[in-house]
Structure 1
Amino acid sequence: MSFYTSLNGLKNAQTDLNVISHNIANSETTGFKKSRVAFADVVATSILTNPSLTQGIGATVQKISQEFSLGPIEQTGSALDVTVNGDGFFSIKSPLSGQTKYTRNGSFSVNGTGNVVSASGDRLQLFPTDATGTITSNTQVDAVIPQTNAAGSNFAGVTISLDGAVTASYGDGTNTVVGKIALAAFIAPDGLKQLGSSDWAATGLSGAPTYGAPGTGQFGGLLSGSLERSNVDIAEELVGLITAQRNFQANAKAIDTATQISQTIINIHS
């Protein structure tokens, strides 16, 4: 039994090392959220087992949880770099599959067709507004910047205000509010499915998203001209790396000791 107990320990330590390595590798990834492994002991008993003589049979990975604490804020000065100062996520949609994704990476740009897109090419979602910036519908639309305004003047630039209003500027000095950024929030964000590229998808564990404008409810306000860095603490991860390495070595030593005991017994009978 000791072989299998220690083998489970080796596998668990390897899982811990894998998660920590992934965290460290993404310490400079914009909008990345670190993960942590939770373990649980495993006990096998029956109604005839004396509780005072119960032996455990090792440990198992209970959960790999994500931590959505706010990462450090880096000032970039770019008009389309935005940080959510709260619990909200940017809502983006894939132009190919139509899948709605959620991200904390607020590094956006305008592509050749006028769409405001993420680094992965997914389109930022907005609430439509009237000329005064008042939201007119809860149905989300793609953020599209018109190439020219009603007077025929060419596009000159775009800005995102603290309340989420996306405003296009034109060569004749006029401004047009395209819409307001739609933020999403979840009752259990650690249940979101990781998609890579700092994107997540809703699952049954996370619950359905609720949407709102920046600066309302739990969504949080926006910080324009800045990006949220990874929330990975390198010093903390290195300490965890040392601990996981020690756990791996200890379980390997337990297997070695069990092997020596078995060999001794074999030698006695031979």
Structure 2
Amino acid sequence: MSFNIALSGLYAAQKHLDVTANNIANVNTIGFKSSRAEFADVYSSSIFSNAKTTVGSGVTTATVSQQFHQGALNFTDNSLDLAIQGNGFFVTAANIGDLDRTYTRAGAFQLDSSGYVTTAQGDYLQVYEVNDDGTPKTVSLDSTVPLQVPDTAGSPEATSTETMSLNLPAGATAVDPANFDPTDSDTYTSSTSVVVYDSLGESHTMTHYFVKDSTATNTWRMFNYMDDLPVDITGGSTVSTTAPTCATLVFDSTGQLDTTVATNPDPDPIVTEELGSSGAGVITNGADGTQTITIDFDSITQYSSSFEVSSLSQDGSTVGRLTKVDIGSDGVVAATYSNGTTTYLGAIAMANFANPQGLTQVGDTSWKASLLSGDAVPGQANTGTFGKIQSSALEASNSNLTSELVELITAQRNYQANSRALEVNSTLQQTILQIR
């Protein structure tokens, strides 16, 4: 009996050594969770035994439980490095379309050749599909999809509307619009420009010249040029044979656009002529030549202050190239492109478990759900107990090297003590065998 007791102690000490050695070996493993060997005594008896004099039968390993407390965060320069501050897990899948999910805390993600975000082992990071404002369409693990970061955004969109808000200086020196020359700054009061796009996504510069009219009170003229070529205003006024037709802007005594004047663009926006060869002749690259641009004044005033453009925008775009990927604390992934567009690509799927220690280890710092852990509970980062996501950071192993070295010494001493007990038992039996 004593041999078996000492032998069980050796087995337990060896298990303690193995667990401690594994913790030490993974002290630098990203997202690693340390384990703890837990033991129970063995006590065998029957209904006919005397419990007062029964000796235990040794020790057994009850379980090797993982410790899911938070590891320290190490910050990096890679926006795809992700760490969770909380209890949640990232959700991954081995293949596109797989419903078999694995869970990890190791957030060292990267892009593969197709633009998918994967782990170092090639598992695909799962996200919830989102609406245009970045909110998840549904929070369900069965509806998650792999996160893909497109290198380009959309197809070209021709500019159809330009919107601006500005103030024209009431105290500016008035000039004769008949003398307007875009190459001579003395013939106009102010100017502003905006980049617009044709149907092929090629950019053009639309410049607006504003002239305070010396021939009429509180009256301004607006001339349009694209790529330094004149563009007529549909139904505009002709003031000279060298300048394009212009829009006439008449203000009242309060500095507001006088809506009683028929030539004013408010409430009807200004429309330019066709930009192709049949009109202004600006578009010559094979794009849609029937393109016109509507100029809509969101707000235009004439106050005694300087010329000021408070907003100037247009609704066209070219093909965008990826310039940046941002991941918020709520897990929403936003990609920014060179054409100024920002696209929400998804919300990183998170999962939690009633009993994380019941998860089944599958290697590569990953786990699968089991009967002991319970089903995965889906959620979004920054809600409930799922924790928030920290971009450009990695969660270090939660193994404490100092504590593990102390555990190593303890396990060694236990092993030595049980070895000594085994040796003493052997000596006693040898003594008995030598009795004559």
- Equivalent residue number for residue 208 of structure 1: 375
Structure 1 stretch displaced more, 138-147 or 176-185: 138-147
Residue 171 of structure 1 deviates from its aligned partner by 2.0
Q: Measured at CA, do residues 255 and 96 of structure 1 come closer, stay the same or move farther in structure 2, by a change above 3 Å?
A: farther
**Is 1:259 paired with 2:426?**
yes
Aligned twin of 1:88: 88
Alignment correspondent of 1:23: 23
Moved over 2 A (4+): 96-99, 151-157
Q: For 1:268, what is the secondary structure of its paired residue?
A: coil
Question: Which one of 391, 401, 412 corresponds to residue 234 of structure 1?
Answer: 401
Give the Å deviation of 1:147: 2.7
The percent of aligned pairs where both chains have the same amino acid is: 42
How does 1:7-18 map onto structure 2 within 5 Å?
Answer: 7-18=7-18
| Equivalent residue, structure 2, for 1:140 | 144
Supply the AA of the counterpart residue of 2:355: A
- AA at the equivalent of 1:33: K
Cα deviation digits, residues 186-207 of structure 1 (max 9, x gap): 0000001111111111111100
SS at match of 1:204: coil
State whether residues 128 and 137 of structure 2, in contact with CA within 8 Å, keep that contact through their aligned partners in structure 1. Answer: yes
After superposition, residues 220-231 of structure 1 pair within 5 angstroms as 220-231=387-398
Runs (5+) with no aligned partner, structure 2? 156-318
Counterpart of 2:341? 174
Residue 120 of structure 1 pairs with residue 124 of structure 2: no
What are the equivalent positions in structure 2 for 1:54-69 lying under 5 Å apart?
54-69=54-69
Residue 40 of structure 1 corresponds to which residue in structure 2?
A: 40
Letter paired with 1:94: A
TM-score by length of 2: 0.60
For residue 195 of structure 1, what is the aligned residue in structure 2? 362
Question: Given the alignment, which residue of 135, 149, 153 partners 1:149?
Answer: 153
Equivalents in 1 of 2:149, 2:58: separation in Å?
A: 58
Q: 1:257 to 1:96 in 2, by over 3 A?
A: farther
Note the residue ranges of structure 1 that are not aligned, 5 or more in a row: none
**2:153, 2:339 → 1: CA distance?**
9
Counterpart residue number, 2:102? 101
CA distance in 1 between partners of 2:40 and 2:56 (Å): 11
Report if aligned partners of 2:153, 2:322 keep a CA contact under 8 Å in 1: yes
Classify the secondary structure of the residue corresponding to 1:74.
Answer: strand
CA distance in 2, matches of 1:181, 1:63: 33
Code of the residue aligned with 1:122 in structure 2: it is: D
CA distance in 2, matches of 1:118, 1:165: 18
- Code of the aligned partner of 1:27: V
Cα distance in 1, alignment partners of residues 154 and 355 from structure 2: 44
Aligned equivalents of 1:89, 1:201: Cα separation in 2: 11
Q: What is the identity, as a one-letter code, of the residue corresponding to 1:252?
A: S
Flag the 1:28–1:102 CA change in 2: closer, same or farther, 3 A.
Answer: same
**Corresponding position of 1:247:** 414
Distance between the aligned counterparts of 2:406 and 2:87, measured in 1? 28
**1:44 shift after superposition:** 1.0
- The alpha-carbon distance between structure 1 residues 96 and 56, as it changes in their structure 2 partners (threshold 3 A), is farther
Structure 1 residue matching 2:59: 3-state secondary structure: strand
Shift of residue 97, structure 1, vs aligned partner: 9.3
CA deviation profile, 1:58-95 (whole Å, cap 9, x unmatched): 00000110000000111113111111110000001112
DSSP-derived class of the 1:182 partner: strand
SS in 1 for 2:346: strand
Q: After superposing the two structures, state which structure 1 stretch, 79-88 or 135-144, moved more.
A: 135-144
Per-residue CA deviation, residues 135-187 of structure 1 (Å, 9 max, x unaligned), is 11232111011232113322233221111111112221221100101100000
Root mean square deviation, CA, Å: 1.3
**TM-score normalised over the length of structure 1:** 0.96
